[in-house]
């Protein structure tokens, strides 16, 4: 008993250096920055008061939440269909599918945003093709608005949605599906009553991951939004770098951190969070 | 920004100077980092006095070295001027000064930032015993906490193919969606946009300031749905080049590139251009001390180098003797050429310094709302 406890302590000691390093160089500076939100321009809560009084602060939060929820919903929808297809594919085909999902993940977010600009702008590929085939007479406004931002973000997020869902789908015993069919259920019933509930933990995990990731998006909205849509990350950058209103910028950063931790706390009750961070069940 | 490798080199040199490593070890280490050669000059440089000039990157890094740094260094043996392209935003200058570890001497900033930061006591005031007020063409180029060795202008640029019967010539035309239909391009920054809006409202350009912020914001709101907004110079160029906007307010340096590469398809007009000083500031406690004032004085007092910069990058000279030195083919693109300066409006940096923070926040709210 004592020996086991001792071994346990030993393991903890092993991660102690990493823990101290993180505290000294990561957690402490972040706390220091977040503390500015209470001390500038005067000590007090006036920066947080803006959350309730400033229309512009509320608008930035509203825009961010709206775009993130739409992105999450679309990424889950597309990702689910992909993951479903991959999970049920043969081993040989599956590898190619997974490669196709992973390849975009390795391309820089900047490159991908500019690629979308090239596709979606007035003289871009999409508009040119539609104009030449006579489908439209005037170029469509596909970019420099929230539509463009959502397209870019969903494209970025789909792989993050696929991977947790695929992991959870692959744990589903295929014999259960066969058994349900054997008991007379239709294909749809098998999916709705057996497969979907069993894959729900992966769905929730993917949703949390995609949503949290989307909250901090900076580059994609900055490039595809045409300057007209401001999400929190860019707003914080603006306050800190250009307007030197650090109190306000750090207030929003604190809100962002709290929002992320709260989301994690709520969903950690519903789903095994270790799945999010790549640990197998 | 300093790269990790540059930092390794510095660290190794420091150790060598303190005698912690032998010369042989140092050379081997530097060779491993791929910077073996040039050691002698670096060693010598350590004996010299060094000034750090900070710019926003791109070819400015090269140009400022050539036209600001080199003339000063060759006139002052033993002084080296190095370029850093971190981008000295107001926020970065503030955090550097407040941290008490100032490594920058002279930063390519703006009139607005010089008032903003100067008001927070974060800048060294310009010593006008060293820097000469007579070396600039107007009072907006020599401020309490900064002085301008170059100028630039926010000009109206348009696509002549879209307007075969004559394009827009003023900000009133820019706002006239009926006569000149199509998407507009503005900078996502109140300074420049509100000045133009005020002119479109009909106020006399010679008597433009103070701006009526509320009315100007409302004026921009009118055309907001027909606008796209740029945040970087290259982006502004791209919006016009690819036909996303039929006209725009962009920096004259970008307008020049567009006009030249398109053989005149994209034209810019100097009329009602918003002429601004390229203000350099010194963070409080800059390591070079007074030497930085002398570098700034040399930048202002050297018309030949300023004309060189105009030909290389497009930045307008600010020295009163420079305009006459500009070769004829470059005069068209010189914002401070008397012909061009006459029809522009000198932006009031002081007014903007006092009003920028609030006006810009309101502007961005309006643009993104």
Mean pLDDT of the A10-33 span:
89
Q: Which two tokens stand for residue A89?
A: 């594919």
Antiparallel, parallel or unpaired: β B227-230 and B345-346: unpaired
Residue B238 CA to residue B244 CA, distance in Å, equals 8
Instruction: Measure the CA angle with vertex B328, ends B325 and B330; round to 5°.
Output: 85
Q: Give CA torsion, residues B271, B274, B275, B278, to 10 deg.
A: -150
Residue A278, classified by CB atoms within 10 Å of its CB into exposed (0-12), middle (13-18) or buried (19+), is exposed
Mutation choice for B interface testing from A143, A243, A249, A253 by most B CBs within 10 A: A243
Ranges A100-109, A186-195, B20-29, B225-234: which has the least confidence: B20-29
Q: Is B207 on the interface with A (CB under 8 A)?
A: no
The pLDDT of residue B36 is 44
The pLDDT of residue B26 is 59
Is 80 exceeded by the pLDDT of residue A150?
yes
A226: left (phi over 0), alpha (psi -120 to 50) or beta: left
Q: Kindly identify which residue of chain A lies nearest to residue B244, measuring between CA atoms.
A: A122
Instruction: Please name which of B151, B103, B111, B113 lies closest in space to residue B299, comparing C-alpha atoms.
Output: B151
CATH label, B48-149+277-331, candidates 3.40.50.2300, 3.30.200.20, 3.40.190.10, 3.40.30.10: 3.40.190.10
How many domains does chain A contain in total? 1
Residue A215 lies in a domain: yes
Percentage of chain A with pLDDT > 70? 95
Q: Is B231 on the interface with A (CB under 8 A)?
A: yes
Q: Kindly identify which residue of chain B lies nearest to residue A249, measuring between CA atoms.
A: B91
Give me the phi and psi of B336, to 5 degrees please: -100, 10
Residue B86 CA to residue B131 CA, distance in Å, equals 26
- Between A60, A122, A245, which is nearest B243 by CB? A122
Q: Read off the pTM.
A: 0.81
The pLDDT of residue B5 is 45
Q: Is B263 on the interface with A (CB under 8 A)?
A: no
The pLDDT of residue B23 is 63
The pLDDT of residue B83 is 95
Q: Flag whether the ipTM exceeds 0.85.
A: no
Q: Smallest CA–CA separation between A144 and chain B, in Å?
A: 7
Q: Are B91 and A244 in contact (CB < 8 Å)?
A: yes
Q: Is A244 on the interface with B (CB under 8 A)?
A: yes
Q: Is A211 on the interface with B (CB under 8 A)?
A: no
Mean pLDDT of the A118-131 span:
94
Residue A3 lies in a domain: no
Residue A34 lies in a domain: no
Mean pLDDT of the A31-56 span:
91
Residue A136 lies in a domain: yes
B48-149+277-331 and B152-276+335-368 agree in CATH topology: yes
Range of the domain at A152: 58-275
Between chain A and chain B, the number of residue pairs with CB atoms below 8 A apart is 61
Cβ contact B230:B187 at 8 Å: yes
Residue A247 lies in a domain: yes
Residue B247 CA to residue B238 CA, distance in Å, equals 12
The pLDDT of residue A190 is 93
Q: Kindly identify which residue of chain B lies nearest to residue A144, measuring between CA atoms.
A: B228
Residue A163 pLDDT grade (very low, low, confident, very high; cuts 50, 70, 90) = very high
Q: Are B228 and A246 in contact (CB < 8 Å)?
A: no
- Between A229, A241, A245, which is nearest B368 by CB? A229
The pLDDT of residue A7 is 75
Is 50 exceeded by the pLDDT of residue A226?
yes
Q: What is the pLDDT of residues B195-224, one digit of tens each?
A: 999 999 999 999 999 999 999 999 999 999
Q: Which residues of A touch B367 (CB under 8 A)?
A: 227-228
Residue ranges in chain B whose pLDDT is less than 70: 1-47
Report, at the CATH architecture level, how domain B152-276+335-368 is classified: 3-Layer(aba) Sandwich (3.40)
The pLDDT of residue B59 is 81
CATH code, domain carrying A197: 1.10.3720.10
């Amino acid at each position: 008993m004592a020996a086991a406890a001792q071994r346990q302590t030993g393991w903890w000691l092993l991660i102690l250096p990493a823990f101290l390093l993180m505290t000294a160089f990561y957690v402490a500076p972040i706390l220091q920055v977040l503390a500015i939100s209470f001390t500038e321009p005067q000590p007090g809560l006036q920066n947080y008061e803006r959350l309730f009084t400033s229309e512009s602060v509320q608008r930035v939060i509203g825009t961010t939440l709206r775009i993130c929820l739409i992105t999450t919903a679309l990424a889950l929808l597309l990702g689910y269909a992909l993951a479903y297809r991959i999970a049920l594919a043969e081993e040989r085909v599956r590898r190619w599918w997974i490669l196709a999902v992973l390849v975009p993940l390795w391309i820089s977010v900047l490159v991908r945003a500019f690629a979308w600009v090239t596709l979606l702008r007035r003289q871009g590929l999409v508009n040119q093709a539609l104009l030449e085939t006579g489908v439209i007479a005037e170029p469509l406004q596909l970019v420099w608005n929230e539509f463009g931002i959502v397209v870019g973000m969903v494209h970025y997020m789909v792989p993050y949605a696929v991977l947790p869902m695929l992991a959870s789908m692959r744990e589903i015993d295929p014999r259960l599906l066969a058994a349900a069919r054997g008991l007379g259920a239709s294909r749809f019933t098998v999916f709705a009553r057996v497969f979907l509930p069993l894959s729900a933990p992966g769905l929730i995990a993917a949703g949390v991951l995609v949503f949290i990731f989307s909250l901090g998006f900076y580059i994609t909205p900055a490039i595809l939004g045409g300057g007209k849509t401001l999400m929190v990350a860019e707003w914080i950058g603006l306050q800190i770098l250009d307007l030197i209103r650090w109190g306000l910028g750090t207030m929003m950063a604190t809100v962002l951190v709290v929002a992320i931790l709260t989301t994690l706390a709520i969903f950690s009750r519903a789903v095994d969070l270790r799945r999010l961070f790549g640990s197998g069940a | 920004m300093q790269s990790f490798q540059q930092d390794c080199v510095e660290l190794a040199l420091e150790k060598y100077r303190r005698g912690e490593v032998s010369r042989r070890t140092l050379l081997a280490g530097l060779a491993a980092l791929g910077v073996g050669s040039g050691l002698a000059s670096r060693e010598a440089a350590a004996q010299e006095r060094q000034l750090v000039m900070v710019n926003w990157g791109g070819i400015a890094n090269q140009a400022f070295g050539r036209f600001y740094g080199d003339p000063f260094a060759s006139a002052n043996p033993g002084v080296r001027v190095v370029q850093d392209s971190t981008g000295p935003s107001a926020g970065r200058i503030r955090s550097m000064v407040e941290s008490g570890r100032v490594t920058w001497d002279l930063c390519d900033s703006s009139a607005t930032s010089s008032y903003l930061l100067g008001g927070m006591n974060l800048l060294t005031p310009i010593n006008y015993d060293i820097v000469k007020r007579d070396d600039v063409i107007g009072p907006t180029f020599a401020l309490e906490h900064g002085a301008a060795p170059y100028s630039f202008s926010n000009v109206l640029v348009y696509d002549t193919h879209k307007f075969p019967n004559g394009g827009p010539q003023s900000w009133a035309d820019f706002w006239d969606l009926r006569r000149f239909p199509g998407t507009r391009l503005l900078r996502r920054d109140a300074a420049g946009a509100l000045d133009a809006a005020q002119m479109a409202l009909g106020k006399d350009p010679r008597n433009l300031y103070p701006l009526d912020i509320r009315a100007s914001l409302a004026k921009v709101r009118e055309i907001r749905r027909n606008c796209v907004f740029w945040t970087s110079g290259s982006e502004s160029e791209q919006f016009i080049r690819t036909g996303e906007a039929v006209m725009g307010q962009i920096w004259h340096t970008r307008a020049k590139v567009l006009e030249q590469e398109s053989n005149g398809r994209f034209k810019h007009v100097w009329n009602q251009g918003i002429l601004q000083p390229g203000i350099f500031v010194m963070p409080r406690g800059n390591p070079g001390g007074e030497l930085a004032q002398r570098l700034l004085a040399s930048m202002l007092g050297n018309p030949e180098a300023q004309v060189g910069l105009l030909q290389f990058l497009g930045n307008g000279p600010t020295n009163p003797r420079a305009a006459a030195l500009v070769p004829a083919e470059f005069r068209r693109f010189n914002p401070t050429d008397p012909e061009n300066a006459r029809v522009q409006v000198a932006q009031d940096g002081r007014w903007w310094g006092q009003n920028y923070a609030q006006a810009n926040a309101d502007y961005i709210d309006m643009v993104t709302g």
